[in-house]
Amino acid sequence: MLGQMNRFAPSAGRPKTWLALECGAVFLGVPAAIAARWAPVPVIPVLLGMTAGCWLTLEWQHNIRVWSLLRPQVSGHEWRRMLVLYLIVLPGLVGLLWWMHPSLIFALLCHQPGFWLLILLAYPILSVLPQELIFRAFFFERYRPLFGRGPGMALASALVFAFGHVVFHNPVAVVLTFVGGWRFATTYQRTSSLICVSTEHALYGCTLFTIGYGPFFVDRVWWVGG
């Protein structure tokens, strides 16, 4: 596929200094401005606007057809790996919230099942897929000259992914998304599949909302009863 052929093509014409400034402005400056309320705009419209910009940049500047990255052809071993790790992590996520805020355990599911169902339907489309396009497909291609192709890239992706969640003004969101960001980054490195990494991201995200972590990951303005 054209996207796969160009995935590691040289990023000519973009000096590292400019790339570093651009990366800092987009992935540190934008979340910081929103968190500091210098740019009082809802998170989802910003996320969708960034998604459009990243999509066009991949298509026009990097000659990558984003649709080619949506291929689901991933080995059964990869899907099993994903499921086994999820089953190992799940009890820990429940235990952690029980320790921090036992009153939140399954609160959304029990008290607002309609809102819970709406989140499970909308979250993968409006949040997960855009985030994976931005923080994995775009970030890996655009900033490869800065961070390479190995662990350095995965770490950089996880760090900016976690920093993007400072907009929710709590350390729980930042810490959990750093851990998740590292996992998602390494999954994308192995598979080059947005479908695979988005499925994994959605699995954990929907689980967090179901368990009761919602108030940590949704702007309180949009959190009904939060």
Mean pLDDT of the chain, nearest integer: 89
- Cβ proximity of 201 and 128 under 8 Å: yes
Mean pLDDT over 15-35 rounds to: 94
Residues of the chain with pLDDT > 90, as a percent, come to: 78
Q: Which residue type is seen at 103? A: S
| pTM, full prediction | 0.88
Local confidence band at 219 (pLDDT 50, 70, 90 cut-offs): low
- Cβ proximity of 148 and 43 under 8 Å: no
Q: Does the pLDDT at position 178 exceed 50?
A: yes
Local confidence band at 223 (pLDDT 50, 70, 90 cut-offs): very low
| Confidence at residue 205, expressed as pLDDT on a 0 to 100 scale | 97
| Confidence at residue 226, expressed as pLDDT on a 0 to 100 scale | 34
d(CA 224, CA 226) in angstroms, rounded, equals 5
Lowest mean pLDDT among 54-63, 66-75, 154-163: 66-75
d(CA 43, CA 222) in angstroms, rounded, equals 10
Question: Going by C-beta distance under 8 Å and a sequence separation of 6 or more, which residues neighbour residue 109?
Answer: 116, 210, 212
